[in-house]
C-alpha cells in the first residue's frame, strides 16, 4: 500500500534550541543510543517497504549526505534536496521535481517514534481527506468544577471535567495537488500550508498517534530520548 506514496524527511533546520550540541553537528545526526535520530526514521520507513526517500537539507547538509552515502543498510534510494536558503518545514517541496506519486508523507527529521505509517495512510484513504495531521492526544484534568458561560450567562456546570487536546506530531500526509498551494522560494511551514488548505475548505484529517512519540527539540527531550531508547522498541 505504501508504494503509492512519496516520502519527504525535513532535515534542514539549525536546531538552535539544542546548541551547543548542534554547533558542529546537524540535529538529525545527533546520536540517540547508538545511531543518529534521523536513522531511526529511515529504518522505520524501510520496515514498511519504503525504498525511495527524499531528504531536504540545509544546515551542515554535507554531513547528512555523507552519512547516508556511507550508512545505507536498507539500500534506500536517497534524493537530497538542498535548500538555497531556509524555506521552513515544507517550502523545500517546491524544489523537488521527483514527487511523482499521488500522495506524499512529510515528516520532521528530529522525531523518535514507532508510529504505524501503514495505519496512518489507510486512515487517510478511508476518510477521503486532502491532507492529514498526525497528532499526540493530551488529556487535561480540571481539578475544580467548571462554569460554562455565554454572553455573561451560565450555560452549564461540569464537575472536574477532562478535556482532550491534540498536539501536532510533525507528521503529515498530503494529496499531491495540495503542493500547488506552496509558494515559490519563500519560508513556508507545514502549518502554513494546512491553514491555506483550511481556507480553501479542504478536508483535513486528524490521526492520533497512540504509540511512542517524542519530538527532540530541547535538551531535556534529548536527555529523555537517551533514557527511552533503552526501553522502547523502535
- 3-class SS at 153? strand
Place of cell 536513522: 39
Residue 111: which H helix or E strand, with range? strand 111-113
Show me where the domains of the chain are located. 2-228
Cell of 92: 523545500
State the Cα–Cα distance between residues 15 and 12, nearest whole angstrom: 9
Give per-residue pLDDT as tens, 143-160. 888 888 988 888 998 888
pLDDT digits (tens, 9 = 90+) for 185-225: 889 999 999 999 999 999 999 999 999 999 999 999 999 99
Spans of the chain below 70 pLDDT: 1
Pairing of strands 103-108, 162-175: antiparallel
Q: Given CA atoms 70, 41, 212, 141 in this order, what sign does their dihedral have? A: positive
Place of cell 546548541: 19
Output the pLDDT for position 1: 61
According to DSSP, residue 178 is labeled G
Query: Does domain 2-228 fall into CATH 3.40.309.10?
Result: no
Distance separating alpha carbons of residues 148 and 150, to the nearest angstrom: 7
Within 17-95, strands assigned E span 31-32, 35-36, 52-57, 77-82
Q: Cα(105)–Cα(44) distance, rounded to whole angstroms?
A: 13
Phi, psi of 65 (to 5 degrees): -60, -45
pLDDT for 204: 96
Q: Is residue 178 within 8 Å of 193, Cβ to Cβ?
A: yes
Report the alpha-carbon distance of residue 183 to residue 91 in Å, rounded: 7
d(CA 13, CA 26): 8
Amino acid at each position: 500500500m505504501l508504494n503509492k506514496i512519496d516520502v519527504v524527511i525535513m532535515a534542514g533546520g539549525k536546531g538552535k534550541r539544542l546548541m551547543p550540541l548542534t554547533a558542529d553537528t546537524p540535529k538529525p545526526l545527533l546520536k540517540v543510543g547508538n545511531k543518529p535520530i534521523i536513522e531511526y526514521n529511515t529504518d522505520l520507513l524501510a520496515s514498511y517497504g519504503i525504498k525511495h526517500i527524499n531528504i531536504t537539507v540545509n544546515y551542515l547538509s554535507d554531513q547528512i549526505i555523507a552519512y547516508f552515502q556511507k550508512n545505507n543498510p536498507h539500500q534506500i534510494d536517497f534524493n537530497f534536496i538542498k535548500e538555497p536558503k531556509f524555506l521552513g518545514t515544507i517550502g523545500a517541496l517546491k524544489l523537488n521535481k521527483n514527487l511523482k506519486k499521488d500522495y506524499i508523507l512529510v515528516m520532521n527529521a528530529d522525531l523518535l517514534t514507532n508510529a504505524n505509517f501503514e495505519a496512518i495512510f489507510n486512515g487517510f484513504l478511508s476518510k477521503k481527506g486532502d491532507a492529514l495531521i498526525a497528532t499526540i492526544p493530551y488529556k487535561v484534568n480540571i481539578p475544580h468544577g467548571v462554569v460554562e458561560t455565554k454572553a455573561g450567562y451560565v450555560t452549564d456546570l461540569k464537575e472536574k471535567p477532562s478535556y482532550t487536546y491534540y498536539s501536532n506530531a510533525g507528521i503529515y500526509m498530503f494529496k499531491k495537488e495540495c503542493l500547488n498551494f506552496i509558494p515559490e522560494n519563500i519560508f513556508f511551514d507545514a502549518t502554513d500550508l494546512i491553514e491555506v488548505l483550511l481556507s480553501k475548505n479542504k478536508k483535513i484529517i486528524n490521526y492520533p498517534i497512540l504509540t511512542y512519540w517524542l519530538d527532540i527539540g530541547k535538551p531535556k527531550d534529548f536527555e529523555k530520548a537517551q533514557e527511552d531508547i533503552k526501553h522502547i522498541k523502535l
